[in-house]
Amino acid sequence: MERLTKAQKNVLKAIFDERLSEEEALEKERTSVKVFENWLRESRFKKEHNTLMERCGRRANLLITTYKEIAALQLIKLTDCDKEVTARQACLDIINMENTGNKDKESEAPRAMRPETQEAILNIMSEENAIDNK
């Protein structure tokens, strides 16, 4: 059975444990993009990379689920915003959340989160961390 090289392990560690971008990890390990792309074609490296990607996805889903209530409350606050565009978008997001919640969960296809929603959740999370750290 083929094994990962030390360089491959280091790049994966940098990306998934140290949370560096692929470019930063490759630069840190003095590995070219071309070599990395070749690694991604190798079955063992590809399998390990995919396993780590799935793990990150599960962690992200857990984190998002944890903060859904906070995000909903923040959206409700935004409906009373002085900026009409922000208030309107918050109202639409709340309506979309309600419509999504009424669907049969098994038949519901995963939906990509809008960048604005992602940013709002990240802002809420950073505010919560600031409060927790006081």
Give the model confidence (pLDDT) of 112-122 as tens digits: 677 777 777 77
What is d(CA 74, CA 126) in angstroms, rounded to the nearest whole number?
Answer: 13
The closest alpha carbon to 94, from 77, 111, 118, belongs to 77
Tell me the pLDDT of the chain averaged across its residues: 82
- How many alpha carbons lie under 13 Å from residue 130 in its C-beta half-sphere? 6
| DSSP three-state, residue 11 | helix
Encode burial over 12-29: b for 16+ CB neighbours within 10 A, e otherwise: bebbbeeebeeeebbeeb
pLDDT band for position 82 (cuts 50, 70, 90): confident
More confident residue, 124 or 29: 29
